[in-house]
Structure 1
Amino acid sequence: MKNRAATVQDVARAAGVSTATVSRAINEPDKVSEETRQRVADAIAATRYTLNEAARSLRMNRSRMLLVTVPDIGNPYFSLLLAGMEETASQQGYNLLIANTNCDPHVEHRLYDYVRSNRADGILILDGTLPSLGEQSDTALPPVVVVSERIEGAELPTVCVDNAAALASATQHLLQLGHQRIGHLCGPLANVLTKERLAGFRQAMTNADLPVADSWVYSGDFSMDAGAAAARQWLAQTERPTAITCANDELAFGFIDEVRRHGIRVPEQVSVVGFDDIQFAARFYPALTTIHQPRKEIGRQAAALLLDLINQPGKVKKQEIVLGTELVIRESTAAPSS
């Protein structure tokens, strides 16, 4: 075998089983015993047999592709999520197919085309929207896992964090510093992340028996421009919050940059907390206090769950995996000035 690649027949001879058994051990491992699986695995290692993934995909009617729907591919929040997904998928011979849903008016048609033509074995949803097949309802969706952003009313496997508890911990940090007038900068009001994080903020303030003026809750859209717009509203107020929690880091960056342009010092005159802990948070000035999400691990676990659903249909329990967050205290928060 020094001058040629090992074949399935070589593996069968080394394992002392038939070629059909080798095929079952590779493609349908649950149909052979643990002892047989191990013998085949040892034989594959001994013969250095390399599985032809393309041929295997054809036999199993698989594309070896996972479709990932991303609302904004340019948002740095998604980079580590995608890295974690790619790492796990590639270990099992899968690739990612990225659909940038927020920027493509034809995305619904393209998603249907992927499903209809079996170009995606499963879907990882990062935009909080279940793809609609419209009038093509005769085509069933492949296995789906929702990532980071729950889909309200849909009982689907989900991997996320507890957004309300995380924002509550950020608010509690400001309360412990001595702040009582605390505001919140929201994302899009219809977005589930916005709702959960706002609920966590309000609950923490209620628990502290402190009021929240309507004018202290600022609307936004998860962008730095929205953070800057909220800062201008804050600057125009006569009774301002002394601290602001933000629904993501980009809002916090925009807010801080805008108030600094008007001579306001952070955190001396206003404290700001972000959410996500994207790569720039530690390098921003001042370094941003924020909620750290384990984004790469979220991506890994989401891809692993989807692959289990694909490879073991009917055997994987639909579930919600909730990962922990961490408040990272840096330089953008301090006690209120007297």
Structure 2
Amino acid sequence: MPRREPEKSVTVQDVARQAGVSAATVSRTISTPEVVSEQTRDLVLEAIQHTGYRVNQAARNLRKKRSGAVLVLVPNLGNPFFSQILASLNATFSNGGYSVLISDSNVQESPGRQVVDYLLDGRVDGVVCLDGSLTNDDLEQFRLNGLENRIVFACEWLQDAPYPSVRSNNREGAIMAVEHLYEFGHRKIAHITGPRGNVLTAARREGMLHARRELDLPLRDEWIIRGDFSVQSGWKSGDDILKMKERPTAVFCASDMVALGLIARLNAAGLSVPQDMSVVGFDDIELAAFSLPSLTTIRQDRSALGEQAAGQLLKRLENDGELSAACEIKTIDVTLISRDSCSAPVANPT
């Protein structure tokens, strides 16, 4: 078999000859297209397509003193909630010329230290942080190393910290959930929270308590159960509910995974959802529509969360991180998705 000759790589000079312009003009068109005329851009782009020229991204990044990558810090990669956010982040950064590195902060001894190391070592140009559990020591390290303008928070955030963030309207979503159960006739409504110290836990609990006050609903201490957003905590909370002398007729769960674990435990005990107990989740992960029964939940626009967080970081990187005054907080609306896990209570106490 004859040896296949290696294909000759196409150079900037080949593109320049095809377009009838100088190599310098080709380089300017690729790196700063706004400085050349529309006619020249069209000529160069047509020549690139014709010749099959590919930009040497590594060399381009080296000239610009950037890595061409961003780090996404995720608190639990095993949680299906993050799938759409990560897909949206990846698509938006890819369109902006950046690759994405993903790190699970649950398996890092010091995720804040990792962020500092990645940025200072030049392995990434910026960070999208989906984890709101970083410490004050982490924040101090960001400040001391001048890194505040290269970090954007999404989903979770740091309370009272000067960082831009993109988040869902968690408080309003909790109000919607309680009001939905109230409209079905429920008055005995329990709540399974997220983990202690988490900003999402606090926002959703605040919304739940606000709705209770507005609707003059009874509240027993045992009806607020500590969870951690996991399916296991939903199952365990089901154990707690089954032991109660006065059970609630409905439960608002701080996440869909908690709700699915709760429903599984109630089913295992011979109870029926929603006939014996109604359940509402939060997130609208893919499984919510296919569970039995299908889960009523509060939908977060996860694609928008990822897209807007990436957009915020790209703006900062385009300005070399010089946006210290622009700590913008974007809040994205949530939607109630009504499915089969809610119905009127069998007995409707007043």
* Same fold, judged at TM 0.5 (above): yes
2:37 aligned counterpart, secondary structure: helix
TM-score, normalised to structure 2, is: 0.86
Distance 1:144 1:108, change over 3 A: closer
CA apart distance, 1:4:
6.2
The 1-side partners of 2:162 and 2:143 are apart by 19
* Aligned residues of 1:277 and 1:291 also touching (Cα < 8 A): yes
Question: What is the letter of the counterpart of residue 78 of structure 1?
Answer: F
The 2-side partners of 1:133 and 1:21 are apart by 44
Q: Does 1:289 align with 2:293?
A: no
The 2-side partners of 1:50 and 1:41 are apart by 17
Q: Does 1:239 align with 2:246?
A: yes
1:271 aligns to what? 278
2:132 aligns to what? 128
The 2-side partners of 1:147 and 1:184 are apart by 25
1:204 aligned counterpart, secondary structure: helix
The 2-side partners of 1:66 and 1:109 are apart by 16
Which of 205, 217, 220 lines up with 1:210 in the alignment? 217
Q: Does 1:334 align with 2:343?
A: yes
2:146 aligns to what? 140
Farther off after superposition, 35-44 or 324-333: 35-44
The 2-side partners of 1:62 and 1:37 are apart by 28
1:156 aligns to what? 163
CA apart distance, 1:98:
1.1
TM-score, normalised to structure 1, is: 0.89
Which of 314, 323, 328 lines up with 1:319 in the alignment? 328
Farther off after superposition, 46-55 or 315-324: 315-324
* Aligned residues of 1:25 and 1:37 also touching (Cα < 8 A): no
1:44 aligns to what? 45
Farther off after superposition, 151-160 or 20-29: 20-29
Distance 1:38 1:318, change over 3 A: farther
* Aligned residues of 1:11 and 1:40 also touching (Cα < 8 A): no
Uncovered stretches (5+) of structure 1, i.e. residues with no partner: none
* Aligned residues of 1:6 and 1:47 also touching (Cα < 8 A): no
Farther off after superposition, 224-233 or 66-75: 224-233
Question: What is the letter of the counterpart of residue 294 of structure 1?
Answer: D
Farther off after superposition, 8-17 or 160-169: 8-17
* Aligned residues of 2:237 and 2:262 also touching (Cα < 8 A): yes
Distance 1:143 1:15, change over 3 A: farther
1:64 aligns to what? 68
* Aligned residues of 1:125 and 1:146 also touching (Cα < 8 A): yes
1:170 aligns to what? 177
* Residues 247-258 of structure 1: pairs in structure 2 closer than 5 A: 247-258=254-265
CA apart distance, 1:104:
2.3
CA apart distance, 1:45:
3.4
CA apart distance, 1:135:
6.5
Spell out, residue by residue over 1:130-178, the C-alpha distance to the aligned partner (whole angstroms, 9 max, x if none): 5828779653326111111121011222111100001111111101111
Farther off after superposition, 104-113 or 284-293: 104-113
CA apart distance, 1:36:
3.2
Q: Does 1:74 align with 2:78?
A: yes
CA apart distance, 1:67:
0.4
The 1-side partners of 2:78 and 2:42 are apart by 42
2:204 aligns to what? 197
2:161 aligned counterpart, secondary structure: coil
Distance 1:280 1:110, change over 3 A: same
**May I ask how many residue pairs the two structures share in their alignment?**
333
Identity %: 40
2:234 aligns to what? 227
Uncovered stretches (5+) of structure 2, i.e. residues with no partner: 1-6
1:84 aligns to what? 88
1:116 aligns to what? 120
Distance 1:38 1:125, change over 3 A: farther
Distance 1:72 1:249, change over 3 A: same
* Aligned residues of 2:193 and 2:253 also touching (Cα < 8 A): yes
CA apart distance, 1:112:
3.0
2:109 aligns to what? 105
